[in-house]
Amino acid sequence: MRYQPHTDEDVRSMLETMGLDRVDQLFSSIPEGLRLKAPLDLPEALDEQRLFEHVGKLASMNRIEQMQASFLGAGVYEHFVPAVVGQILARGEFLTSYTPYQPEVSQGTLKAIFEFQTMLSEILGMDLANASMYDGAHATAEALLMGLRIRRKATKVLVSSALNPEYKEVSKTYLSHLEGAYVELPEKDGLTDLSQLDASALDGVAMVMVQCPNFYGSIEDLEAIKTFCTAHDLLFGVCFSEPLAYGLVKAPGAVGADIAAGEAQSLGLAPGFGGPLLGVLACKIEHVRMTPGRLVSQGLDTEGRESYVLTLATREQHIRRARATSNICTNQGLMALACTIYLSLVGKQGFRELAELNLARAEYAKAQLCAIPDVTLVYDAPTFNEFVIRTPKPAAEVVRFAAARGVAAGLNLGRVDAAHHNDLLLAVTEINSREQIDLLVQLIGEMLLL
């Protein structure tokens, strides 16, 4: 990139406009002790051609190994994304870093966000969804704070230990200023365990938050948990990392959840290196004024034409920071658009068929893997497209053996909890053919014979 410096006259004019005499006055907010006193020790400058050559040499140091198959999941999933999604995203009307701050700016952008909200509301079975959050962990943390806002006298939330570990860590950070607010519920056999809770443990509780399917892939009994919450007058929150499951599994809204929050990456976004991601938060209409993030609504302009507008913006932007429902003041607009395009292409029937295909592939993999001697399922709960197996050898060794042969054999759960050092968390989607599954089974079988 060519650099064209300012002339002395340019600098003088800008300083005069700002009412300053010297350039170093621009840095007066930086303490004297932290300022650089000597020139940076930088290598010789390169022209454009030499710079390209240098970057090329650096890039050649990367190890690029073509994986034959990947069974990684744990919150980020690989699904087939039609090429048209990327083509539409690349259009100049959408590919911009600008966020529409004014209520009626950019009708095309606002309409796209409105469609995203509508589609996610339908999938989750909720009255409304916001314009998106940063990612599933962020959305979950905001949902917990939202629960505490709704129940103003409450001081804590109950969070299932079967949530994605990263969701739990982010939530703990968000609630760290509220001492004792984050209380973790135990899990038993891969599912949230409410049996040990007595009346005293529920004092001051605003809500219960579970994940479905949870981190282990197990499908929680949401109806039973909702019954528990109703009996004790608690809000019920459901988070998720694989919303495709709701093509078959009852959606949060269908079982009476008050808030649903999570990750929508699996609906049109590539895994990348773990991002970019797409958080979403949905809720019942009575909680709309407590909802974080932006909301786009549909209406009519002064000439009776269909129009879109940022609504109830005073909740989180045009208000004092301490009183705002959140301070995100933005959204993952481009990622939300990718999700909207993807869902438009898939359609309602296609969404269900895709969910059925994921389930079928996962069940086939489960059966084949458990046919290997000494390989067992860790949990008996029903699953969607992700499950945990236990091998007689450390999972880390299994992962290394398979990776050396071009297969990502899931997540070594020992990285999350040492007690799971022999356990593998595997995700199987429509991307994984029977041939790939058979290869995985073959490699694990070979490794266990060594």
Rounded mean pLDDT, 353-364: 98
With a cut of 50, say whether residue 426 has pLDDT above it: yes
Strand 376-377 versus strand 187-188 pairing type: unpaired
How, if at all, do strands 235-240 and 205-211 pair? parallel
Distance CA 378, CA 407 (A): 22
- Class at the top of the CATH hierarchy for domain 83-343: alpha beta
The pLDDT of residue 99 is 58
Domain ranges of the chain: 69-79+348-449, 83-343
Q: What is the pLDDT of residues 149-198, one digit of tens each?
A: 999 999 999 999 999 999 999 999 999 999 999 999 999 999 999 998 98
Query: What is the per-residue pLDDT for 98?
Result: 64
Q: Averaged over 345-355, what is the pLDDT?
A: 97
Indicate left, alpha or beta for 342 from its phi (over 0: left) and psi (-120 to 50: alpha).
alpha
pLDDT digits (tens, 9 = 90+) for 202-225: 999 999 999 999 999 999 999 999
Q: What is the percent of the chain with per-residue pLDDT over 90, rounded to a whole number? A: 76
Q: Specify the higher pLDDT residue, 45 or 422.
A: 422
DSSP assignment of 272-289 equals BTTBS--EEEEE-GGGGG
Q: Across-strand partners of 238?
A: 210, 260
As a whole number, the mean pLDDT across the chain is 93
Q: What is the pTM of this model?
A: 0.86
Q: The domain 69-79+348-449: what is its CATH number?
A: 3.90.1150.10
In this structure, are residues 93 and 303 in contact, taking their beta carbons and an 8 Å threshold?
A: no
pLDDT of amino acid 65: 65
